[in-house]
Amino acid sequence: MSLVGREREQERLAALGASGGSLLVVGEPGVGKSALLRSLDGHLVTGVEAERDLPYSGLHQVLHPFLDLSTLSGARRDALEFVFGLSDGAAPPVHLVGLAALDLLSTAKPVVLVDDAHWLDQASQDVLGFVARRLSGATLIAAARIPMFAGVPALTVEPLAPDAADTLLCPARLRAPRAADRRAGSPCATWTSAAAARSGRGQRGRGSQLAEGEHRYDGFERKLQNRPVISVPAITIASDFDGPNKSGAGYRDRFTGRYEHRILDGIGHNVPQEAPEAFTRAVLDVSR
């Protein structure tokens, strides 16, 4: 899958997937980190805020396909058995859990992709940082909003260049209403601004401007958290990553106008870059 304006980043990730090693992908929400991870073949793990207080829950996601404890020496096997609730005893030190995880990954030689790594529990972050600084035979690529895993090489995903933002909009025959929207460089923000302009429902005034950084979606979130009734034509999009919520049944009654729900299997939360054609069709269909 080729991503608009991300050729350099994709080349670096593909090379790492072939050679082995570790990399942290850092960038603002909506800039395309998830799309970059999903452009690779590998074992995909997503950090979940609801499990942030569950020690080693993230590490279990990473290791469970490769969890052949019979390949580990006694102390390292005991460490993983304890942290995954398979045995009782004293809590092992982080470095022992890290050495056990390193052994499993080095034997299996997978490509492990960790999205939203900032939501992983602290114990898992500590172990994965330990592993990432030593891994060579396998590949570990994590994406996060903030720098983490000290000593691990990092790739900062910069905002899209204006010409790349325009290219992203071309399939839908859309144009960003303000140069500032393109300069923001977020694929999600670019699509949101352009779609609002096409539909004629864009709002004016200071309160409707997309803010800088992580706060650019605050206005939308404040409105949506109150579960308002939405009377304008709407299309909602979900994927199999949404689990039991992908059917949209939980919010169907909030839409009183023309409405359609679409499910895109295998797509994460950055639909404009991961499924541009499907997103384009939705933008055009809802604007008619």
Cα–Cα nearest to 26, from 159, 145, 148: 145
Measured between alpha carbons, how far is 226 from 55 in angstroms, rounded to an integer? 32
Any idea which residue has 């529990």 for tokens?
A: 121
Q: How many CB atoms lie within 10 A of CB 254?
A: 15
205 dihedral zone (left: phi>0; alpha: psi -120 to 50; beta): left
pLDDT, tens digit, for every residue of 186-208? Answer: 555 554 555 555 444 444 443 44
pLDDT, tens digit, for every residue of 137-170? Answer: 899 999 999 999 999 999 998 877 767 666 655 5
| Mean pLDDT of each 10-residue bin along the chain, 288 residues long | 80 93 92 89 92 94 93 93 91 95 96 95 97 95 94 89 63 46 50 51 41 58 78 83 74 86 76 76 79
How distant, in Å, are the alpha carbons of 47, 131, 152 from that of 95? 22, 9, 16
Measured between alpha carbons, how far is 93 from 79 in angstroms, rounded to an integer? 8
Buried b / exposed e along 115-152 (16+ C-beta atoms within 10 A): bbbbbbbebbbbbbbbbbeebeebbbbbbbbeebbeeb
| DSSP-assigned letters across all residues of 44-99 | EEE--GGGTTSTTHHHHHHHGGG--GGGS-HHHHHHHHHHTTSS-SSPPPHHHHHH
Q: What 8-state DSSP symbol labels residue 254?
A: G
What's the confidence (pLDDT) of residue 201?
A: 46
What's the confidence (pLDDT) of residue 31?
A: 83
Helices first, then strands: H and E counts in the chain: 12, 7
Q: How many CB atoms lie within 10 A of CB 91?
A: 11
